């Protein structure tokens, strides 16, 4: 393996690692210079709240979009902030400018988390690895952590479970609509999952495609609550956009 490339070391729940990151570490901010940051719908809501922007403005200014090569679903990533290279748009010499609202994958670093879903049972399995990058000196100091201790220290309790909703959506798509989505479906998926303020207009005007009903209580909550609105967006994707094609009777 190239000594200049990061490596992933599988972690069991009881494995310990030592890590600390702060401005006095000589490599401070270097991990933000090579950006490949995928954003979840939940990441976007936290960031746009912190920056006091609507979702459309945030997406246009800070993100770029492409299709996931394995899922065929739209993926949103942070747009590099410099004219060259892959600098995070939110990094400064003093550190992260959006630290309280940073994405979940940033919070977990240097731990990487992947989730697999069993086709037979639907149960989720968590897999963890330690990201070792040649430049990182954070492993040379700090406390010893196991995975659960690290997660509890870095995340609010619901951050992982809410972010795992996308796994259910990917599983549903693979089952009912494998392959790439058409252009209209991609736009609607992006609206329902990533652009909550654009979704709000559609939901409140009852103009989302399909026979999709939202009860008055949830509709009222969605007027001001982005999290309630995202749940409606997820539900629309599952029940309408990714619903199995109707088959004609023989």
C-alpha distances (whole Å) from 29 to each of 104, 152, 230 are 17, 23, 32
Q: How is residue 240 written in tokens?
A: 């309408």
**Who's near 141: CB < 8 A, 6+ residues apart?**
18, 20, 25
| pLDDT confidence of residue 19 | 94
Contact criterion met (CB below 8 Å) for 31 and 139: no
Cα dist from 30 to 70, 91, 95, 237, whole Å: 29, 10, 10, 38
pTM for this predicted structure = 0.90
Residue 48 contacts residue 42 (beta carbons within 8 Å): no
Give the H/E segment covering residue 236: helix 226-236
Distances (CA, A) of 203 to 13, 42, 81, 206, 218: 42, 19, 33, 5, 11
Cβ-in-10-Å burial (0-12, 13-18, 19+) of 121 comes to exposed
pLDDT of amino acid 246? 60
Task: Print pLDDT tens along the chain (250 aa).
Answer: 455 677 999 999 899 999 999 999 999 988 888 778 999 999 999 999 999 999 999 999 999 999 988 888 999 999 988 666 788 999 998 999 999 999 999 999 999 998 877 777 777 788 999 999 888 999 998 889 999 999 999 998 788 877 788 888 988 898 888 888 999 999 999 999 999 999 999 999 999 999 888 999 999 999 999 999 999 999 999 999 998 876 434 4
């Amino acid at each position: 393996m190239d000594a200049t490339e990061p490596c992933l070391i599988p972690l069991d729940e009881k494995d310990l690692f030592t890590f600390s990151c702060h401005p006095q570490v000589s490599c401070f901010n270097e991990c933000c210079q090579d950006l490949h940051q995928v954003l979840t719908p939940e990441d976007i809501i936290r960031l746009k709240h912190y920056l006091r922007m609507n979702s459309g403005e945030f997406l246009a200014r800070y993100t770029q979009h492409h299709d996931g090569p394995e899922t065929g679903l739209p993926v949103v990533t942070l747009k590099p902030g410099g004219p060259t290279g892959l600098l995070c748009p939110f990094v400064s010499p003093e550190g992260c400018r959006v630290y309280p609202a940073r994405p979940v994958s940033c919070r977990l670093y240097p731990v990487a988390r992947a989730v697999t879903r069993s086709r037979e049972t639907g149960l989720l399995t968590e897999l963890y690895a330690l990201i070792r990058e040649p430049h990182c000196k954070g492993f040379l100091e700090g406390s010893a952590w196991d995975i659960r201790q690290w997660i509890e220290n870095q995340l609010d309790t619901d951050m992982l479970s809410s972010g795992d909703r996308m796994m259910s959506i990917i599983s549903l798509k693979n089952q009912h609509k494998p392959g790439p989505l058409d252009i209209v479906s991609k736009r609607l998926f992006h609206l329902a999952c990533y652009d909550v303020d654009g979704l709000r207009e559609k939901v409140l005007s009852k103009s989302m495609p399909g026979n999709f009903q939202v009860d008055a209580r949830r509709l009222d909550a969605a007027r001001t609550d982005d999290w309630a609105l995202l749940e409606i967006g997820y539900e629309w994707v599952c029940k309408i956009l990714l619903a199995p094609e109707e088959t004609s009777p023989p």
